[in-house]
Structure 1
Amino acid sequence: MFSFTTLLSIAIAARAVAGSPIRSRTPYVVKETHFVPRKWKQVGQAAEESTISLNIGLKQSQFDELERHLYEVSDPDHERYGKHLSVEHVEELVKPSAESLDMVREWLLENGIGDLSYSAAKDWISVSIPLQTAEQLLDTKYHVYEHEDGDRLVRTSEWSLPLHLHDHVDAIQPTTSFMRTAGQKTEFLQFPPWVSPEYIPPTNATISKVCNISSVTPECFMNLYSTKGYKPQATKFNKVAFNNYLGEIPIRPDTEKFLAKYRPAAADAAYKFPQYSIAGGPVQDGPLNYSQAADGISREANLDVQAIMGISDPTPVVSYSTGGSPPFTPDLATTENTNEPYFVWLNYILSQPSIPQVISTSYADDEQTVPKAYAERVCQQFAQLGARGVSVLFASGDRGVGINNTCLSNDGKNTTMFVPLFPSGCPYVTTVGATHQFEPEVVAFRPGYYAADGSYREIYSSGGGFSNYFSTPRYQEKVVSSYVKGLGGLYDGLYNKKGRAYPDISAQGQYFAYFWNGTEGVISGTSASTPLMSGIIALVNDVLLSHGKPVLGFLNPFLYSKGYKGFTDITSGSAAGCNVDGFAAKEGWDPVTGFGTPIFPVLAELAKGY
C-alpha cells in the first residue's frame, strides 16, 4: 500500500518527466468526467497557442442559508413574504470561504497565473491563459469537437485538480460542457399552417372574432387572458427583460411594423427599449443586412420582443445580448466561442444593483449535455436572482419528452430514456409550456412533415419532463406525487419519478403572428409562450407595485400554494416525443402544461392578497 508521501512523489516525478510546470501541494486526481454527447465527434486537436478563458466556480459558503431565505421570501404563507434580499446580502451568503479563496489563488499563482478576475461575490474566478497552460493546469487535453449540424466547440471529456482543492472548487468551464443554448422555436412562414382535424372553433363571440387559429395576435392574447383594458400604472418602477444568445438581435424596424399593425399606440416603443451588450453580444438599431437575412438570424429575438411588447406595453422592456457562445469558427481564438453564455450573463446581471423584475429566456439544451456540477452551480445563480425578487422564466422545449429516435442516455450505456432539458429542470426557475386553440386550449402540437426542400421537420410538441439532476422541490411534491401515482406505472424506467418536474405553467405557443426581415409570418414554440407569459407576469407586478406591494419574485412557491387558482386548467393533449404519446395533460397540474394558462384578473387579485 502506497503512503501519501509516496503518491505525491510519484505524481511530481511523472510531471517532471513530462516537462509540465504544474505545482501542487497534493497529487492530481480526476475531478470530473463527462461523456461526449452523441451527435458530437472529435475532429482535431485544439491549437495550443490559442487563448481560453477559464471560469473557476468556488464552493459557495452559505448556499443552504440563501435557499432558506429564498423560500421564506417567496412563500405567501410566511411572514417574510416579499421581503426580498439586497445584492449585498446575497453576495455575503454565496461568497466562498477565505480558505477556498486562498487555496485556489495559491494554486494559480504557483503556476504563474496572476491576472485573476473575480465575480461580484468572488465565487467565480476567471483567467485568460494559453490553451496549453490550461491543459497543464487541469491535467487534460482539449480537442475540437464538431456537432452533426456543423457547430464546433473546444472541449475535453475529463479534467483533474490537486486533491486538496476538490472540496473547494465546484466546477471549471469551459471543459466538459457541450451545452448549446438553442432557441425553443420552430417554423417560420409555414402557410397554410397545420390545424388539428379535432379543432373546435370558440363559441365565445369575442374570442371567435379576435382569435384566428392560423395567426394568433396580441388582440387575441389580451382577450383570451383578460388583460384587455388594463393600463399599467407603475412603469417608472417595473421592467421586463429578455435574453439573446447565439448572435440573436431584436430588429427594431420589424418590431415597429409589428406594433404599428397590432398595437399602434405602442409603435414608437420599438426604438426606445435599451439593448445591453455583454461579452461582445451584438446590438443594432437598423434592419437585417443581406448576410444576416441569409443566415436567418433574429427570428428568436424578434419573437421575444414582439410577444412581450404585444401584451405588456407600456411596461419598459430591456434586451440583453450575450456573446461567447457557439458556433465555432476555426480561424477565431477560442476565447470567442468557448464561454458558457449562461455563466457570462449571470455574472453580469448579478453584479447589477438594479435588475428587471421579470426575465424571459427562450433557450435550453438537453440536460445530459451539461455536467451535473456545472448545472448545479448555474441553477444556484438563478436562486440568487429569485432571492433578490426576480421572476426567471424558461421555455419547456418543443419536442415533448424528447426528439423521436434520439432518446438515449449519454452515460455510455445508451439506455432508452426521456430527455429532460436544462435550465428548464432547475428548481429555482419557472418553466413555461405551450398551448394551442382557444376554447378549450390544448397542448401545442403539430405532426412531423416533409418540407418543400425535401427535408423532414420533426414534430412540434410542448415539452415536459422530470430532471435527472435535481430532485422534486418541496413546493411541488404533492402534485408531482399525485401525477406519478396516476400514471399507474406507465413509462416506468424512462424518467426520474423523484426529479424536479416541469413545466409549471403555460401560455399560447403556436402560430404567433410576427414580423421578420420586413415580412409578416407565423412562428411556433415555447419560445413564444415564455415571453408572452413573462409579459403577463410583468402586468401582475404592475398591479402589485401600484398598490404599494412587493413584486412576485420567485414564482413557484406562490404558484403551487395559491397562484394556481389564477390559471385555466388544460386537460387535452400530451408531451409527445421519443416515439410515444408522452406525459398527458390531466385535471390539475401535469408535466406538459403545468397548472395551465393565466387568467390575469384572478391572478392579480390572488397576488394582491398577500
Structure 2
Amino acid sequence: MLGLSVVLSVAFAAQAAFASPLHSRTPYAVKESHPVPRKWTPVSRAPGDHMLHMQIGLKQERFDELERHLYEVSDPDHPRYGQHLSTEDVYELVKPSDEALDLVHEWLLSNGVDRFDYSPAKDWVNIYISVESAERLLNTKYSVFQHEDGSYLVRTPDWSLPLHLHDLIDTIQPTNSFMRATPQKTDWIQFGDHQAPPGYKPPSNETIARVCNIESVTLECFNTLYGSLGYRQQAVGKARIGFNNYLNQTPIRPDIFQFLELYNPPAALSAWTFESVEIANGPAAQYTPLTAEQLAGSDISEEAVLDAETILGMTWPQPVTSFSTGGSPPFNPDLNTPTDTNEPYLTWVNYVLGQKDLPQVISSSYGDDEQTIPKSYAERVCNSFAQLGARGISLLCSSGDGGLGGLDDSACYSNDGQNKSTFLPAFPASCPFVTTVGATMQFEPEVAVYRSPGVGSDGKQHGFYASGSGFSYYFPRPSYQDAVVPAYVKSLNGAYTGLYNPEGRGYPDVSAQGLYFAFFWNGELSTISGTSASCPLMSSIVSLVNDALIASGRPTLGFLNPWLYSKGYRGFTDVTSGNSSSCGTDGFPVTEGWDPVTGFGTPIFPKLVELAKGH
C-alpha cells in the first residue's frame, strides 16, 4: 500500500512491544458478527495459502474533537469558518494511544506477525497475512463466497479478539465486509437509440431548447441550465478537482480526447495531460484505445471515461487528478489470485490522507447497499472522510441508481437474520461527512430521474433506473439536517413506517442531470446515464465556485453540508416532481424544499458564487 509511514522490522517491533510490561493474555471473544448478504453464498473453505491485505483500525483517541473542529470550520456562522486544519493537526487528533499501539503490537508479535506498517496517523495497522494465519489471529474460519453475478470474495461472518483488545480495535478488514464499489451507472446506449421519458415535453424556453436535446445531453446544455456558460476562470491552476476509479476502471485518453474535440475543443489536449495517480497497483490512465481483451472482460472503463469527460469538459483549464485504486477482481479461485485486496474506499482514503497536496473537490461515483458491510467498518471509513473535510476538501458521492433499493419488493429485504421488508440505503451515500448527489432528467422543469424497465422504441431492453434515495440505518441524522428532515418525515403522515429509519441521515443533499449524457467511448459517440453522471457534474460546479472564491481571496468551500443546509440551499432550483417508484412502492414523494430523492435540487452557479462569497 502506498503512502504508509513506517515499516517495522522484527527487532524494532519487539522493542516497541516490550517497552512496557507484557499484558497477560486474555481469552478470545467474538468482536463482531455480520450476516452474509442475501446475494452471497458460501461455496468452499478458503485456501490456507491465500493472502490477505489486512487492515486493523485502532480506536482514534480524539475523533470527537476532530468532529468539533470539522463543524466549526464548515459552519458559515462560526468565527472559524474556512480555517481548515492542517494535515498534521488531523493526524494528532485521530492517532491512537500509546497503550493501544503497544498492546496491539504485543498481540501481533505473539501470533507470529512481525512485519507491519501504518497509515499516516497510525490509526490503521496494515499486515499481509495468509488465510491460515488470519484464522489463528482472529479465531475464525474464512470461506470463499460467490455473488449471484459470479464474482467471489474470501470472507468470514464473524471474528474474535482477546478481550483486552475489544475497546482498542474498532474494525478489521477483510473479515465480514461484503461491500463492492459498484459504479452508479446504467445503460450505455449507441447514439440515436433512445427513448424519451413518458410525458416528456421539449423546453419552451428558446435558449434551453436550442442546446438541450433529451436524446443526448451535452456540456453546453449543462452550462446553460446551471448558469456557468461563459464563466471565465480567474484563479487558473489554483482550484483543482479529482475523481475516483475503482474495480480496475481507468480513463481511456483517446476517447476523452475525441469527446473534448467535439464538445469543448480548447480543452482537447488536456485529455493527454491530466494527472493520473495509481494507488495499490491501480491502472494508469490509458494512452491507447480499449483493447480486445478489455472489451471481452467485465471491466470496460465506462465509468472512468464518463467522469473524465464530464469533469475535463466542465472545468478546463483547472488541473484534474484521476485516482485509480487497485483491488479488483478480488478473488478468482481458478486463477489463485495472490492477494485479496478489495476494501477500495479504505485503501484510497488512507492513501490520500497521507498526501499534503490534494484537489479541493473529489468526485466518487461508486457505492453498494449499506447493509453489505458491518457498521464498524462503515463508521471508520466515514470518519476518514471527515478527516478530509476538516482539511477543506469537498467529497461528493453519487446516491445510487436503484431508488430505495431495487425495482420491486423481491430485492428489498433486511440482512439481519429476520429477512424483513425494508428500504436499502446505500454507502457511502449515507455517510454524513460526504455531499450526496442524486439525478434529474428533462429540462423545463427538471424532475427526479426515473425509467421503468422494458423494451424501448429502439427495440432494446432498458433497465430500471431511479435516483438513489433514503435514510441511513447506521448513521443518525446530523444536526445540519434538523431544520428540514424532521418536517419532511412528518409530512409523510406515517407512510412507509417500519421500512426506513426516520431518525437516520437522509440523502441525497443535491441533484444534477443524470440521463443520456453525451459520451464518447470505444471510438463511438453514445450516451450513458446514472448518478455516476450527476456526481461529477455537480462536483464540477462546486470546483468552479471554488475558483471564484480563491480569486476573491476567500477559502474554498470544504465540507459542504453545514453551509449547504444553512445558506447554500438558496443557490439551487427546487425540484418538485418526478417518480422514484421502487421496492414495490411509489417511493418517497418529491416535494417542495428538501426531499430524499432530489435533495435541495439543482445548482444555480451565479447564485452559489454570490452566497459563497457572502458566507
TM range (shorter): over 0.9
Name the structure 2 match of 1:526: 531
Name the structure 1 match of 2:38: 38
Residue in structure 1 matching 2:382, options 361, 379, 382: 379
| 1:454 Cα offset (Å) | 11
Distance 2:581 2:429 in 1: 17
Deviates more, 1:185-194 or 1:64-73: 185-194
1:602 pairs with 2:603:
no
| 1:451 Cα offset (Å) | 8.2
Unaligned runs of 5+ in 2: 1-22
Residue in structure 1 matching 2:399, options 390, 393, 396: 396
| 1:129 Cα offset (Å) | 1.5
| 1:238 Cα offset (Å) | 1.4
| 1:335 Cα offset (Å) | 5.2
Letter in 2 for 1:285: Y
Give the match's secondary structure for 1:407: coil
Give the match's secondary structure for 2:482: helix
Alpha-carbon contact 2:195-2:456 (below 8 Å) kept: no
Alpha-carbon contact 2:50-2:339 (below 8 Å) kept: no
| 1:412 Cα offset (Å) | 0.9
Distance 2:455 2:203 in 1: 30
Deviates more, 1:80-89 or 1:329-338: 329-338
Give the match's secondary structure for 1:354: coil
Give the match's secondary structure for 1:537: helix
Name the structure 1 match of 2:4: none
Distance 1:527 1:231 in 2: 26
Residue in structure 1 matching 2:370, options 367, 372, 382: 367
Distance 1:336 1:360 in 2: 28
Give the match's secondary structure for 1:292: helix
Letter in 2 for 1:544: L
Alpha-carbon contact 2:51-2:340 (below 8 Å) kept: no
Alpha-carbon contact 1:180-1:326 (below 8 Å) kept: no
Task: Kindly provide the CA deviation profile for residues 213-255 of structure 1, in whole angstroms up to 9, marking residues without a partner as x.
Answer: 1100000001110101101122222110000000101110000
Distance 1:506 1:54 in 2: 36
Give the match's secondary structure for 1:246: coil
1:485 pairs with 2:490:
yes
Letter in 2 for 1:290: A
Distance 1:328 1:534 in 2: 33
Distance 1:480 1:87 in 2: 33
Alpha-carbon contact 1:254-1:518 (below 8 Å) kept: yes
Letter in 1 for 2:196: V
Name the structure 2 match of 1:246: 247
| 1:285 Cα offset (Å) | 1.7
1:422 pairs with 2:427:
yes
Alignment of 1:1-16 (within 5 A): none
Name the structure 1 match of 2:522: 517
Alignment of 1:292-441 (within 5 A): 292-295=294-297, 297-332=300-335, 336-403=339-406, 404=408, 405-441=410-446
TM-score (norm 1): 0.94
Name the structure 2 match of 1:258: 259
Identity in percent: 60
| 1:361 Cα offset (Å) | 0.3
Residues 453 and 414 (structure 1), Cα distance of their counterparts in 2 relative to 1, 3 Å cut: farther
| 1:458 Cα offset (Å) | 3.7
Give the match's secondary structure for 1:221: helix
| 1:337 Cα offset (Å) | 3.4
Name the structure 1 match of 2:91: 91
Alpha-carbon contact 1:117-1:125 (below 8 Å) kept: yes
Alpha-carbon contact 2:156-2:176 (below 8 Å) kept: yes
Name the structure 2 match of 1:17: none
TM-score (norm 2): 0.94
Deviates more, 1:125-134 or 1:362-371: 125-134
Residues 333 and 351 (structure 1), Cα distance of their counterparts in 2 relative to 1, 3 Å cut: farther
Alpha-carbon contact 2:242-2:322 (below 8 Å) kept: yes
Distance 1:335 1:422 in 2: 28
Alpha-carbon contact 2:53-2:339 (below 8 Å) kept: no
Distance 1:270 1:459 in 2: 32
Distance 1:458 1:488 in 2: 32
Name the structure 2 match of 1:182: 182
Alignment of 1:448-527 (within 5 A): 448-450=453-455, 457-527=462-532
Distance 1:308 1:240 in 2: 8
1:236 pairs with 2:240:
no
Letter in 2 for 1:218: L
Alpha-carbon contact 2:282-2:326 (below 8 Å) kept: yes
Alpha-carbon contact 1:342-1:378 (below 8 Å) kept: yes
Residue in structure 1 matching 2:289, options 287, 290, 297: 287
Alpha-carbon contact 1:53-1:126 (below 8 Å) kept: yes
Residues 538 and 128 (structure 1), Cα distance of their counterparts in 2 relative to 1, 3 Å cut: same
Name the structure 1 match of 2:201: 200
RMSD: 1.6
| 1:328 Cα offset (Å) | 2.2
Alpha-carbon contact 2:52-2:340 (below 8 Å) kept: no
Letter in 2 for 1:93: L
Name the structure 2 match of 1:159: 159
Name the structure 2 match of 1:592: 597
Alpha-carbon contact 1:57-1:125 (below 8 Å) kept: yes
Distance 2:365 2:236 in 1: 24
Name the structure 2 match of 1:273: 274
Task: Kindly provide the CA deviation profile for residues 518-561 of structure 1, in whole angstroms up to 9, marking residues without a partner as x.
Answer: 00111100000000001110000000001111000000000000
Give the match's secondary structure for 1:478: coil
Letter in 2 for 1:85: L
Letter in 2 for 1:389: G
Residues 156 and 450 (structure 1), Cα distance of their counterparts in 2 relative to 1, 3 Å cut: farther
Distance 1:137 1:282 in 2: 32
Distance 1:172 1:426 in 2: 19
Give the match's secondary structure for 2:586: coil
Letter in 2 for 1:47: P
| 1:453 Cα offset (Å) | 13
Alpha-carbon contact 2:193-2:458 (below 8 Å) kept: no
Residues 163 and 453 (structure 1), Cα distance of their counterparts in 2 relative to 1, 3 Å cut: farther
Alignment of 1:207-226 (within 5 A): 207-226=208-227
Distance 1:606 1:256 in 2: 35
Alpha-carbon contact 2:47-2:131 (below 8 Å) kept: yes
Deviates more, 1:37-46 or 1:325-334: 325-334
Letter in 2 for 1:236: G
Q: How many residues align?
A: 588
Deviates more, 1:118-127 or 1:572-581: 572-581
Alignment of 1:41-120 (within 5 A): 41-120=41-120
Distance 1:192 1:491 in 2: 37
Deviates more, 1:457-466 or 1:174-183: 457-466
Task: Kindly provide the CA deviation profile for residues 332-383 of structure 1, in whole angstroms up to 9, marking residues without a partner as x.
Answer: 5555333300111011000001111000000000000010000000000000
Give the match's secondary structure for 2:82: coil
